Amino acid sequence: MNAPTSPGARFRVALRDERPLQIVGAINANHALLAQRAGYRAIYLSGGGVSAGSLGLPDLGIIGLEDVLVDVRRITHVCDLPLLVDVDIGFGPSAFNIARTVKSLIQAGAAACHIEDQAGAKRCGHRPGKDIVSVQEMADRVKAAVDARTDRDFFIIARTDAIAVDGVEAAIDRARACLEAGADAVFAEAAHDLATYRRFADAVGAPLLANITEFGQTPLFALDELREAGVAMALYPLSAFRAMNKAAEAVYSAIRRDGHQRSVLDLMQTREELYERIGYHRFEQRLDDLFGGRR
């Protein structure tokens, strides 16, 4: 049997082979390689991560499609793991904007995306004050995304933020409408307990994604707990990013305070570790092969 070739096909194989499929956030291409080295089968690019990490802005719907595509291309250029991408509400009010988003993601090498039902002035999914569009408008967003696929295996996940706004049953009704519109899976944002995931899984009959983000509304459930609750995908969107930021602050403070970095060397990746992770010596050997070792 031939191995799946498209990123979308590889994502579907990973989802078939690993339940729940652990999808870890990679803020940049370097982190994508680290995730691959750790054995993950799929990775994720968070809209909040692009906002904060690439642009230094809050996750309030400020970023645009091109901001995301820059990071998608950088990741897919060096890493073969299927990449799930957060596209917020599709980067535009119309079906044509959403279609452009999906086509551009596929061209950039992404495997999957999730699109949500928040209104235009969106907020982080774990913050109060969210506003959601009608069920019909969300279903139309999904229809536009599905219709735009140039790779039939590109995986489309419908995210609903309705749990915090209208309750679990209303969120389940939205999820069903999105699946009828062609979505491949459902993302139940900001669920408070395992019973909610089980209700979703039993009701929708499609793969369910749980967002296991730190310091949010959802407890940090273990993989076995999520499996028992019927969850198909466990998302860890910014875990490494948060750790990276904490370490960076500690290093900056230490150098400024002490006048040297000796006290924080244990927080750092060594030069040789970096070279090994990014294949530095392989690239250097290629130069030697081409030019006979001349410098």
Binding site membership for Mg(2+): which residues? 86, 88
Q: Is 86 a catalytic residue?
A: yes
Q: Is 116 a catalytic residue?
A: yes
Q: Is 193 a catalytic residue?
A: no
- Please state, in angstroms and rounded to a whole number, the distance separating the CA atoms of residues 47 and 61: 9
Marked catalytic residue, from 10, 126, 141, 159: 159
Marked catalytic residue, from 59, 71, 153, 184: 59
Q: What angle do CA 226, 229, 232 make, to 5 degrees?
A: 60
Binding site membership for substrate: which residues? 46-48, 124-125, 159, 189, 211-213, 242, 271
The string over 230-254, giving b where at least 16 C-beta atoms fall within 10 Å of a residue's C-beta and e elsewhere, is: bbbbbbbbbebbbeeeeeeeebeeb
Number of alpha carbons in the 13 Å side-chain half-sphere of residue 69 = 14
Marked catalytic residue, from 10, 12, 116, 161: 116
Marked catalytic residue, from 71, 124, 153, 236: 124
Marked catalytic residue, from 86, 151, 153, 184: 86
Marked catalytic residue, from 71, 189, 197, 199: 189
Contact 153, 141 (CB under 8 A): no
Q: Is 211 a catalytic residue?
A: yes
Sign of CA dihedral 271, 277, 280, 285: positive
Helix (H) or strand (E) holding 100: helix 95-107
Determine the length of the chain: 295
Q: Which residues pair with 132 in a beta bridge?
A: 118
Binding site membership: which residues? 46-48, 86, 88, 124-125, 159, 189, 211-213, 242, 271
Q: Is 28 a catalytic residue?
A: no
Marked catalytic residue, from 88, 117, 151, 153: 88
Q: Is 272 a catalytic residue?
A: no
Q: Is 124 a catalytic residue?
A: yes
Q: Is 198 a catalytic residue?
A: no
Q: Is 131 a catalytic residue?
A: no
Marked catalytic residue, from 28, 149, 176, 211: 211
Residues known to be catalytic? 44, 59, 86, 88, 114, 116, 124, 159, 189, 211
